[in-house]
Structures are given as C-alpha cells and as structure tokens.
C-alpha cells in the first residue's frame, strides 16, 4: 500500500505549505488544486464553480446517504454538489492508488480512511493566521482591516467545517479524527515538515 499523508488545515495556518514541504522532502506527489482541476475536467464544470462548492457549506442540510429517501423532490443544486463530491472521492482514490502522495484538504482523510493515511490537522491562533494572510496577499490587493480579515478567515473555516461534516458525518478539526494536530503559531513550518518527514 502506498504512503499517504492527508492535511486538513485552518485557513492561514500554513497547512498547504507544510504539505508541499513534506512532499518535497519525501520526494512524493503533492495534490491540492490539481484535484479541483481534475473534477472540472470530468464534470465539465468551471474550476471556479467546483472550488466554490468545495469551500462552501452544502445548501441543504441532510445527509448525502439518505437525502432522496426523505426528500422525493429532486434538488438540482444538491444533486450537482453530490456529484462533485462523488467525483472528488473517485479522483482522490485514484491519486492514492497511483503513488505515494500528500493530499491537502478535500475530505481526503475520510475518503481514504481504509488506506490508513497519516492524518494531519494544522491550526493556529487568529493573529498568526491574519499575519500570514497579509504576508501572502498580492501587493496590488486592497488590504483588509483587522475586522474584515478576521471575518474572512472565520467564514472560510466555518464553511470548510460544514462541508466536511456534511459529507463525512465527522467534526472537522476534532483531534480523534487525526493522528497529529499541529499548532503552527510558534513553530517554523519548515522545521515541522522536516520532523514529520523523519518519521518515514
């Protein structure tokens, strides 16, 4: 079975950077936005739309496994959201079957649970996330106020949490669902990646 690392992360915590550094150190494949691109190709939907669905909570709150049993009327938006998740699951499983890899987000820890991946969840305090977002922001982008940026980060994390819980039935960020929960607030992401890579 291939070596698989999944990375769940709060927005601005550095989870994406940690995943990329791990993949580089271990010389294995790295998947993040590539998953969105593949879903768009397979479903003939715009990448921007697929990304929006995956970063926002589903529009109707009932479990995917029983939805149509209780709601006989077809909801085209919900059907589309479900079809994106099904395609996402298929693509992630294919990627995991092809080679050793690091997969960021997209419920990969749950989708690949039978393959026993190393499951990481990366988080940080709000000030760290705000500072990091400002450092990563394009220079020509209008800066947000502290209040606006905090609301932006909180909104993204809230939607990620709802998306994850809707499709997995588990709580996003709950420590029991991960092998390592890493607070990057006072840590060097480069050093964290190096430490984790030495476990393999």
Phi, psi of 31 (to 5 degrees): -125, 130
Report the distance separating Cα 164 and Cα 189, nearest Å: 24
- Give yes or no for residue 14 having a pLDDT over 80: yes
- What pLDDT digit, counting tens, does each position of 40-80 carry? 676 655 555 555 555 555 544 344 443 444 444 455 555 66
Q: Taking 80 as the threshold, does the pLDDT of residue 182 lie above it? A: yes
For residues 168-195, give the mean pLDDT.
Answer: 96
pLDDT higher for 195 or 142? 195
Q: Is the pTM of this model over 0.75?
A: yes
Q: What is the pLDDT of residues 101-123, one digit of tens each?
A: 999 999 999 999 999 999 999 99
CA distances (Å), 137 to each of 13, 21, 144, in order? 14, 20, 10
């Amino acid at each position: 079975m291939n070596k698989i690392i999944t990375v769940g992360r709060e927005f601005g915590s550095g989870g994406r950077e940690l995943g990329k550094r791990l993949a580089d150190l271990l010389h294995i494949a790295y998947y993040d936005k590539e998953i969105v691109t593949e879903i768009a190709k397979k479903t003939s939907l715009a990448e921007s739309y697929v990304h929006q669905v995956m970063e926002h909570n589903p529009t109707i709150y009932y479990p995917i496994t029983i939805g149509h049993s209780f709601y006989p009327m077809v909801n085209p938006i919900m059907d589309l959201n479900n079809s994106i998740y099904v395609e996402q699951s298929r693509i992630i499983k294919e990627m995991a079957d092809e080679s050793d890899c690091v997969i960021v987000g997209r419920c990969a820890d749950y989708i690949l649970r039978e393959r026993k991946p190393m499951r990481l969840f990366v988080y940080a305090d709000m000030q760290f996330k705000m500072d990091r977002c400002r450092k990563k922001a394009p220079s020509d982008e209008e800066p947000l106020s502290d209040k606006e940026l905090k609301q932006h980060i909180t909104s993204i994390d809230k939607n990620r949490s709802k998306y994850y819980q809707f499709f997995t039935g588990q709580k996003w960020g709950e420590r029991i669902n991960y092998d390592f929960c890493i607070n990057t607030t006072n840590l060097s992401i480069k050093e964290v990646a190096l430490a984790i890579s030495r476990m393999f």
